[in-house]
Chain A
């Protein structure tokens, strides 16, 4: 991000939230690693606050950043920014309102997993933490509403170019959702930001690279084998747990039979003909060309 012009879209907010929260969690972790401090803090709510700082900041925030970022690539439409930002700010605020007081109660000697407590000193802190839970529930509601609203408004949120974030890596070079074969021709990668380079070059030369020679692409055939084997493995597990030995035998037999049936297949791939590849890729090139022309017009106009 250093030296960049940062745009505060929802995934970026989640990433920034992750950085700050994770760093705080890491620093309180350092405290726990100091034996004299740990002697007091071990198994206290300070520890609970610490690992939530790490795991919510480190896993959950990052997962939400990724979800919002790649959602359009997978489903072809963006998630609503307004509800996404509301979800982020409420989660961030709610998180700190819940867990900062727990650091305090931990320092005041509150251990975790108490069945009940009668220490008046802790009450105000725990009340604040409860208020934080209410904020986080609102945040979770925002997440659900975000998805519902985005599905409803998917036509307005449609990702027409396949590159909603002006991305730098190759996945954004495909349309959203990508074709089954991903890339019509293997892209040449010369650096860390291949798609950015391609876009730069297209703008410099004012045109897309020449149309490649399309060749048929072999794709693995879909197979329900994994699902069916898992089904019989589950039956086997059920039989083992409840000691129904005949069921174990049945489950194992059919799981193995499914494997043999699968292993016996002669055709495990199908070819997408060059014509079809060309048709799909020309559509993509058409979209990209329109986008490029629009971009060039924009650059020609005086600022």
Chain B
């Protein structure tokens, strides 16, 4: 069994279109949630989101390539480029065949889907563009990463709604740990700001009209976000041998299913994923310093997650620092696990804990330390990052600070 380390990190999300920009933003506790401007918001009840503003596709991609890239693919490619450049790995020198590419996404090419439904059903178009299917297929972001970087090992997209990226990272981690791959490019991407998609989300009645306030009294629900984050994983042995900078170590992955309600979370399922993760990492609850919570800002999740943390950590729960960075970057659905792993790794390297922003006051049902509003100076040794999805898919990743 190999130890698995992170040697590259790339981010393209609302708080920043690079890991450095993202890092500065989350450390400042500045929420990137704002009025929806990238699509017309007339007719929408929900008028806020965490958007990747001023993203210029032409600055990153040639026109002929762009014709094939949905926005979610564009984000994934930008993040992958940054991560792979940082790692210094060249996949075309033979490593490619021993590298996996496992990416999470909840719905993939949503804008392409939306645009083309409009054309066919709304405008009665006689024909669609030939790239319609290759552009909207949910695996496209992963396909293009393998193509751009010459990765010829196993590759696929993992879809499990809000847990997609955690599951993707978990699977990639297991592949490298087991020796099925020597390296992996993993993470998640999501770009759901289309009129139709937001209408769909509004109908669930869980969207906050004001902002995302995880764990806070007065919270009114979730706020959507978009973006991507990519991690390069490799065996610790390989990284050390080539003198690569080790950003962090992935030490465990746990996953469970609620087998309950299609939208409401269950504390047992969430607790089970965290416990399984700790067991997989071979560590006790007392070893954990920080939890990057799923923390969507809904009444349901935040109370259930708090209960689950109590169940797993017992007395230790009170001394844990817990925060939901969804307050800063929004709920990025299939990208959440990756963007949150990135936030956690950045925080570990920077010696701080990112805050739960927009926090008004404690909710008696959420009685733990959620690091409200201001980042806290603290060395994190071991962190858990949680994702608990609609459909009851729970996944937790354990990350240790790189030496």
Partners in one complex: no
Please report A residues at the B interface, Cβ cutoff 8 Å: none
**Which B residues are within 8 Å of any A CB, using their own CB?**
none
